[in-house]
Amino acid sequence: QGMTVLMDSFHGSAGPEVFRALESLGVRVTAVNLVPDGRFPSGSPNPTSHGKMDPVLRLAAELRPGAVIGIDGDGDRIVFGDHRGILNAGFSALPMLEADPVLKTLGAGKPALYDPKVNPIALREWKKAGAEPVLFRNGHSQIKEYMERIGAPFAAEESGHYYHRLEHKGITMSAENTLVTVLLFLKSIKEDPLLMDRLRTMQDSVYTSGEINYQFENDGARDGALAWVTEYLSKNDAVLTAANRDGIDLQGIQVNKGAVCGPGEIKLDKNWYSGYIRTATNEKGVLRLFFSAEDRTTGVDLLTTIEEELKETWKGKQVE
C-alpha cells in the first residue's frame, strides 16, 4: 500500500497481469510498454540485455519511484532496481529470502540454489538471511527437479529467473511465479526502507563484468581458447569446478580464487574473484565468460589479460 513502482514489460503478455495485481494492492504503478504486442516494437523483450533498461532508468531519475521493475515477454525473467540502476539477481534475491513465508516456516539452514554466476557477496548475505546456498546448473526444469529432490524452497539464476516453493490446498510445487517474485521483493523493501540502499552499497562495492561473448572461426579454435583460459586460471591458483556437490554437471566451469562458497561456509580472501566459463549451446564457435571480483582493479586486470589472449592468439571477436 502506497509504494511507487516504475515498470517496463516490453509489450509482453505478463505486463497487464502484474500491473492489475499491484494496483489492486494499492501500489502506484507507472507502466511503460504495457500493451501486449507480439511484434515487440520496443525490441527484444529481455530486460537483462545490455542497455535494455536504460530508457526506463532515465525516466526513474525524474520520477524517483520506490522500485524499478523490468519483466520479459512471458514474465519468467525479472530485474529489479531503482533510479541508481539495476541490481544483479543475487542481490535482488535477498529481499525475497527475507520475506519468504515458506523459508521462515521451514527455519534457518534450508538450501537455496544459485547458479555459478551469482556473486559470493550476495551468497554471504543469503546465509545471513537463513538460507544455505547450494551450487547448481542453469536450466528451468533441472532446477525445479533438484529443488524437489533436496527440499530447497528457493532458487535464483543470475539471468533473472527466480523459483519458489508454492503451497496451495495441500499441493506443493517448485515453480517460477511472476507475482510471487515481485510481491516478495516489494514487501521486503516496504518493510525495510533502508534495504534498497544496503543492496546498492553491496553491489557497488564489487566488480561484475556481465556476460562477455567471444566468437571464434570454428569450434576447434573455441575449444583451444577455452583450454588456454582454464590453464591460465589454474596456474594462478584458481579452483575450477565442473560439477556441484552431488556430481551434477554445471554445463561449464565455475572459477574461484580466494572465494570459498562450500556447504556451511562463505569465506572471501583479499583480491578474490569468481566466474563462470562455458561454450554456447546454440551458437557455433562462441565462448561465454562472466566474472565477479572484490574490486574493479582485480576484475579488470584479470579480464584484460584473458581478452588480449583471446583476440591476439585465438583471433576471437567480441559479440553480443
Taking the C-alpha atoms of residue 216 and residue 219, their distance in angstroms, rounded to an integer, is 7
Average pLDDT over residues 252-259: 96
Q: Does this model's pTM top 0.85?
A: yes
Q: What is the pLDDT of residue 50?
A: 83
Domain housing 150: 89-204
Average predicted confidence (pLDDT) for the chain? 95
Judged against a pLDDT cut of 80, whether residue 311 lies above it is answered with yes
243 CB contacts (<8 Å, ≥6 apart)?
249, 250
If asked whether residues 95 and 165 sit together in one domain, one would say: yes
Label residue 209 exposed, middle or buried (CB < 10 Å: 0-12, 13-18, 19+).
middle
pLDDT in tens, 228-239: 999 999 999 999
142 CB contacts (<8 Å, ≥6 apart)?
136
Average pLDDT over residues 228-253: 96
Domains contained in the chain, number? 3
132 CB contacts (<8 Å, ≥6 apart)?
109, 110, 111, 112, 263, 264
If asked whether residues 258 and 310 sit together in one domain, one would say: yes
Q: What is the pLDDT of residue 1?
A: 83
If asked whether residues 170 and 221 sit together in one domain, one would say: no
If asked whether residues 183 and 269 sit together in one domain, one would say: no
162 CB contacts (<8 Å, ≥6 apart)?
78, 89, 93, 96, 154, 155, 156, 176, 181
If asked whether residues 242 and 286 sit together in one domain, one would say: yes
Last residue of a domain, one of 153, 172, 204: 204
Contacts 24+ apart (CB under 8 A), 126-134: 126/90, 126/93, 126/94, 126/97, 127/266, 129/94, 129/97, 129/98, 130/97, 130/103, 130/104, 131/97, 131/103, 132/263, 132/264, 133/261, 133/266, 134/244, 134/245, 134/263
For residue 24, the domain's CATH number is 3.40.120.10
For 115, the 3-state DSSP assignment is coil
If asked whether residues 200 and 225 sit together in one domain, one would say: no
Q: What is the pLDDT of residue 281?
A: 87
Q: What is the pLDDT of residue 145?
A: 97
CB 63 within 8 A of CB 40: no
pLDDT in tens, 52-108: 999 999 999 999 999 999 999 999 999 999 999 999 999 999 999 999 888 777 777
Give residue 127's identity as a one-letter amino acid code. Answer: K
203 CB contacts (<8 Å, ≥6 apart)?
87, 88, 91, 119
Sign (positive/negative) of CA torsion 265, 306, 157, 148? negative
For residue 274, the domain's CATH number is 3.30.310.50
If asked whether residues 196 and 212 sit together in one domain, one would say: no
Last residue of a domain, one of 40, 59, 86: 86
Q: What is the pLDDT of residue 280?
A: 92
Judged against a pLDDT cut of 90, whether residue 206 lies above it is answered with yes
pLDDT in tens, 123-146: 999 999 999 999 999 999 999 999
Average pLDDT over residues 215-223: 97
Q: What is the DSSP letter of 66?
A: S
Taking the C-alpha atoms of residue 79 and residue 208, their distance in angstroms, rounded to an integer, is 16
Query: Given pLDDT bands bounded at 50, 70 and 90, which one contains residue 320?
Result: confident
The grid coordinates listed for 304 are 584484460
Phi and psi at residue 21, in whole multiples of 5°? -65, -45
Runs of H (alpha helix) within the chain: 15-24, 54-63, 89-99, 101-106, 120-128, 140-150, 178-191, 195-204, 219-235, 296-312
Which residue bears the cell 557477496?
A: 121
Report, in angstroms and rounded to the nearest whole number, the Rg of the chain calculated over CA atoms.
20
If asked whether residues 253 and 307 sit together in one domain, one would say: yes
If asked whether residues 98 and 112 sit together in one domain, one would say: yes
pLDDT in tens, 21-55: 999 999 999 999 999 999 999 998 999 988 899 99
Q: What is the pLDDT of residue 141?
A: 96
The grid coordinates listed for 76 are 519468467
Q: What is the pLDDT of residue 101?
A: 84
pLDDT in tens, 146-189: 999 999 999 999 999 999 999 888 899 999 999 999 999 999 99
If asked whether residues 97 and 157 sit together in one domain, one would say: yes
Judged against a pLDDT cut of 80, whether residue 12 lies above it is answered with yes
If asked whether residues 197 and 225 sit together in one domain, one would say: no
Last residue of a domain, one of 20, 55, 86: 86
If asked whether residues 71 and 159 sit together in one domain, one would say: no
